[in-house]
A and B are shown apart, each in its own frame.
Chain A
Amino acid sequence: MKQYRVKDLMVPISEYATVAVGATLSEAVVALEKAQEEYCHTQYSHRAVLILDKNKQVVGKLSQLDFLRSLEPKDEEIERIKSIGKFGFSSKSIALQREQYHRSIPPSKDIYANAARLKVDVFMQTHSEGEYVNEDTSLETAVHQLISGRHLALLVTQRKKIVGILRMSDVFAAAFHVMKEVEATG
């Protein structure tokens, strides 16, 4: 049975989409598309962009969800609808309020144009302590770290340097592969 280590499964940082702090969301989307075209060695394409500081150190990550968050209107009415939750209304009631609101305002291209100009710094997620994993860590420990922190990916370190990304999709593929191997060999 193959004993996987994190470094066997990670995507090297050089293959990942990156942009500098201060870049726009539009630039981040372009970087992501480029990485997806150039590095499609697995069936799972890249789904996030790393944000680098001026020393090329990773300071944050922009996921697809973060991109989508930039499209959400942020006016007073939306804030009011969001706050209905604390009064004990069901999520269905809140969703209906949102739908009612969106129907009351005309659709606008501006939402997309405005989002394109926004800075990645506003929407990026910074990493917590539990999102770092050493490159020599075993597959089992990495699986536990993903599960306990409910993370979609971990940053792989070599000493203090970030050298890659361990994606849940790659861990899943490896675990699935081991499972099949064990089944086949009895």
Chain B
Amino acid sequence: MKELERLLDRVIQRVNINLRELEYDVNPLVHNLIPLNQMTKFYAFYGITPNHPLNLQFRHSNLAGSYFLGRCRVTNSLLYKSDIRGDELKQKDDLFQYQEFEIPMAEDEEIEIEDSFLIKTLVHNFSHDPETLEKFFIKDTISTQYANIHGSPSNGSFLGPFATVDLTTIRDCLIGTFSYIQAGEVSHLNIEPGTVWVRSPETFNFLYRFPLQRLNNYIYFTAGSSPRGIFIDFVEDRKEAFQRVFDVLNLEPSVSVPSSASLDRFAVIKPKTHISENVLVSQRAYLQNAWLGKGANAQEQSYIINSRLEGNDITAHGAKIIEARLGKDVFVGFNCFLRGRPESQLTIGKDSIIMPHTIIDIHKPLKIPAGHLVWGLVTNEKDLDNNSMSLKAFAKIETRFSKGDMIFEGSGSEFVTTFKERIHHILEANGAFFNGISNKGHAQQNQNISFNTIQPYPKGEKEGLYPTIIIRP
């Protein structure tokens, strides 16, 4: 396993060199975060479909338990139980709109992961950086448990547990635990844990920062120990259910799935789950007594338990919905944690937007009115007053506004429109609007998929390393 150790040391050193300006040493945080013998235990797997270009190249890397789809090149890296989804990459001759430029793609886009260590991380979408449209690069980067790298090329950066970078190029940045960043391009920034930042330069700027003491109950990460808190307990409690879906080769779906819907064979489905037309359930999603109306989706690492989603609802990567009722067209952002109780249901009115990285954790019933924007930490009515606003009122902000721990500057109308357009695009991409003939999306295109597995060296110096593998049509 010597080679694997050397590889990890090499990645840590490269990240530290990039973060030297921030005087940050990732070594104590990362070195024993995943014991190396864990990284030799699991097979990696990849999907083949008639709908996605295929070009996978793995060199001098560990890929334990990771999943690959599309075009991806991995070199000198460790990928532990990560999902590298290349099903939204741009293709040759596509036109990319950036400001007033229409940039044609010279070749198919590729995810390029080099000298990086990704732990239970989701990589998805495509590069939004106009300077590197054909390469969605992740270089000299370490991301920890349940981080999301979504349409965000990254260089020399560290992402804490449950951190998300969304449509943002990051260079030499430290993204704190449970922080969400969507800011176009950032460099040399140290983002504290629990920061939710959505910025479109010259248009709007939204910032919310969690009260750290309260956030620490949910997720806390410090050097020398694994991440801990309610989030980790929640996923650990359901870990065993995933073992079966990864251990069994042929697994028949335990629920009826309409022909226009897609249920990934690596999702966990518990009894009394209902899947309607145009529903998309991605790998590593967990559904238990979940009613998913037409066009709803449950993305990677999402959990929907004892809940009903009326239709066209988005459960983004890593979001958790427990004991809740969602009206139609509700958006639940990345890594949200929405927890009602059997006697204290959470109700979310239609057309509401629950901002990425929102925590709603209640012991008394709570109703969020239709058409509302909710952010931050909500445990009761008072918190909801402080951390929500009707979208109509938000759209009227013209200069600046602050409420509780949230501060906003710019055009509220642009902010709401941008969000709504993005929600529409997500539903479209996921196949929610499929009419039997047109508007196909992931729900329809991911149905015909085969999975192959690949394995590392079982013993010796190279134990845990995968041989060089090139997979092409």
Interface pair A93/B201, CB less than 8 Å apart: no
In the complex, which of the residues A83, A87, A88, A96 contacts B400, with contact meaning CB atoms closer than 8 Å? Answer: A96
8 A Cβ contacts from A58-103 to B: 80, 83-84, 86-90, 92-93, 96-97, 100
Report Cα–Cα, A93/B192, bound state, in Å: 20
Instruction: State whether A86 touches B207 (Cβ < 8 A).
Output: no
User: Judging by beta carbons under 8 Å apart, are A84 and B400 in contact?
Assistant: no
- Contact check, A84 vs B207: say whether CB atoms are below 8 A apart: yes
Shortest beta-carbon distance from B244 to chain A in Å = 44
- Does B230 make an interface contact (CB < 8 A)? no
Of the residues A80, A88, A92, A97, contact of B199 by C-beta under 8 Å: A88
Name the contact of A93 in the complex, choosing from B197, B209, B409 (C-beta under 8 A).
B409
Q: Please report the C-alpha to C-alpha distance between residue A40 and residue B409 in the assembled complex, in whole angstroms.
A: 49
Residues on the B chain within 8 Å of A90, using CB: 400, 409
Q: Which of B393-414 contact A (CB under 8 A)?
A: 400, 402, 407, 409
What 1/0 flags go to A140-176 for Cβ under 8 Å of B?
Answer: 0000000000000000000000000000000000000
In B166-199, the 8 Å CB interface with A consists of 183, 189, 192, 197, 199
Interface residues on A, range: 10 to 19
Instruction: Give CA–CA (A84, B199) in the complex, Å.
Output: 13
Question: How many contacts A-B (CB < 8 Å)?
Answer: 28
Cα-based distance from A87 to B402 in the complex (angstroms): 15
A92 to B409, CA, bound (A): 10
Q: Is the CB of B407 within 8 A of A97?
A: yes
Question: A86 contacts which of B189, B201, B407, B409 (Cβ < 8 Å)?
Answer: B189
Q: Check A89/B402 contact, CB under 8 A, given A84-B407, A97-B407.
A: no
Find A89's partner among B183, B189, B192, B207 (CB 8 Å cutoff). Answer: B207
| Chain B hits for A86, CB < 8 A | 189
Main secondary structure of the interface of B (DSSP, over half): strand
* Complex CA distance for A86 and B409, rounded to whole angstroms: 14
Among residues 185 to 244 in chain B, which have CB atoms less than 8 Å away from a CB atom of chain A? 189, 192, 197, 199, 201, 205, 207, 209
Please report the C-alpha to C-alpha distance between residue A50 and residue B370 in the assembled complex, in whole angstroms.
64
In the bound assembly, the distance between CA atoms of A87 and B201 in angstroms comes to: 10
B209 touches A88 (CB 8 A): no
1/0 per residue B282-296: CB within 8 Å of A?
A: 000000000000000
Q: Is the CB of B207 within 8 A of A96?
A: no
The CA-CA distance from A93 to B197 in the complex, in Å, is 15
B189 touches A93 (CB 8 A): no
Which residue among A89, A90, A100 has the maximum number of chain B CB atoms within 10 Å of its CB?
A: A89
* Chain B 303-346 per-residue mask, 1 if CB under 8 angstroms from chain A, else 0: 00000000000000000000000000000000000000000000
Complex Cα gap A80–B409 (Å): 17
Q: Which residues of A contact B199 (CB under 8 A)?
A: 87-88
Digit string of A30-50 for contact with B (CB within 8 Å is 1, else 0)? 000000000000000000000
Is B402 in contact with A80, judged by CB distance below 8 angstroms? Answer: no
Smallest CB–CB gap between B112 and chain A, Å? 29
Q: Which of B183, B207, B209, B400 contacts A92 (CB under 8 A)?
A: B400
Q: Mark B142-183, 1 if CB is under 8 A from A, else 0.
A: 000000000000000000000000000000000000000001
Once bound together, how far apart are the Cα atoms of A157 and B315, in whole Å?
A: 70
Q: Quick check: A89 and B407 within 8 Å, CB to CB?
A: yes
Q: Which residues of B contact A96 (CB under 8 A)?
A: 400, 402
Identify which of A80, A87, A88 gathers the most chain B CB atoms within 10 Å of its CB.
A87
Give residues of chain B (402-450) contacting chain A, Cβ–Cβ below 8 Å: 402, 407, 409
CA distance A97 to B409 in the complex (A): 12
Given A96-B400, A97-B402, the answer on whether A80 and B209 have CB atoms closer than 8 Å is yes
Residues of B within 8 A of A (CB): 183, 189, 192, 197, 199, 201, 205, 207, 209, 400, 402, 407, 409
9 contacts across the A-B interface (CB closer than 8 A): A83-B192, A84-B207, A87-B197, A88-B199, A88-B201, A89-B407, A90-B400, A93-B407, A96-B402
Given contacts A84-B207, A93-B400, 20 further A-B contacts (CB under 8 A): A83-B192, A84-B407, A86-B189, A87-B197, A87-B205, A88-B183, A88-B199, A88-B201, A88-B205, A89-B205, A89-B207, A89-B407, A90-B400, A90-B409, A92-B400, A93-B409, A96-B400, A96-B402, A97-B407, A100-B402
Residues of A within 8 A of B (CB): 80, 83-84, 86-90, 92-93, 96-97, 100
The 8 closest A-B pairs by CB, nearest first: A93-B409, A93-B400, A87-B207, A89-B409, A87-B197, A88-B205, A88-B199, A89-B205
